[in-house]
Amino acid sequence: MAKIPKRERLTIAIDGPSGAGKSTVSRSLARRLGYIYIDTGAMYRSLALRVQERGISPEDELALNPLALSLHIHFVTEGEQTRVFCEREDITEAIRTPEISRLASSISKQKGVREALVQMQREMGKEGGVVLEGRDIGTVVFPDADVKFYLDAESNERIRRRYDEMVEKGVKVDFKETQEELLQRDHNDTHRIHSPLKRGTDAVFIDSTHRSVEEVVEEMVRIIKERIKS
């Protein structure tokens, strides 16, 4: 399985709702291409963790904005896993709790927060050779990305995946609560004023409901190669 030539340092955007498989697919695609993987959702979670630690209200823009601007986040790939560091602290596990997920959804509505993190994301990906995943990558962060994908799945499948993910990590969760939280996250993401989740008109739609990670990645690689040739 040949990699994309290194001279083609593309910017690849992958958007979609929670539970669609963006993180796993994006990580696998980046590894396949020899690219850097950037999980923009983890950046909002990182900020949420700091907000929680400081007892800041998710509505307090005067406190949120400077905190967002001061964050130093970087990613380290170890095999098939990507570790998230904030101010040199490994917070990979700490940001994957239901509480942090809810808080991240709340603070992501704030315009100042989004502006600060979008600028950080653009700086990380400006040289190309990156796979960025999130909810507004192809529409806001990198509207001129070389290749854009919108990854989705049926809501029941997304709920099941999120529940299984939490259980596998040893987090005590209730299936009904997981369902309610994911549907609420969908509503928040699609109805927020600033950078709502939506499929870009030029994004390739992929339904992952009945497909494996490998199948989705293979289709993406095929599409990327076609774009390079055209």
Confidence of residue 2 (pLDDT cuts 50, 70, 90): very low
What pLDDT is attached to residue 176?
95
Q: Which two tokens stand for residue 190?
A: 């699609």
| pLDDT bucket at 83, cuts 50 / 70 / 90 | very high
pTM (two decimals): 0.88
Give DSSP secondary structure letters for 25-83.
HHHHHHHHHTPEEEEHHHHHHHHHHHHHHHT--TT-HHHHHHHHHH--EEEEEETTEEE
- Give the pLDDT confidence of 12-69 residue by residue, as tens digits: 999 999 999 999 999 999 999 999 999 999 999 999 999 999 999 999 999 999 999 9
Confidence of residue 172 (pLDDT cuts 50, 70, 90): confident
Contact between residue 65 and residue 110 where contact means Cβ atoms under 8 Å apart = yes
pLDDT digits (tens, 9 = 90+) for 133-158: 999 999 999 999 999 999 999 999 99
Q: Look at residue 1 in the predicted model and tell me its pLDDT.
A: 40
**What is the residue extent of each domain of the chain?**
11-229
Query: Is residue 132 pLDDT above 50, yes or no?
Result: yes
227 has pLDDT over 70: yes
pLDDT of residue 78: 79
pLDDT at 166: 86
Decide which of 160 and 230 is more confident.
160
pLDDT of residue 117: 97
- The CATH T-level fold of domain 11-229 is Rossmann fold (3.40.50)
Residue appearing with tokens 């001279």:
7
**Per-residue pLDDT reduced to its tens digit, 199-220:** 999 999 999 999 999 999 999 9
pLDDT confidence of residue 125? 92
Return the biggest CA–CA distance within the chain: 52
Mean pLDDT value across residues 158-168: 93
What's the pLDDT at 31? Answer: 92
With a pLDDT cut of 90, the percent of the chain lying above it is: 82
CA distances (Å), 190 to each of 43, 110, 171, 194, in order? 19, 14, 27, 10
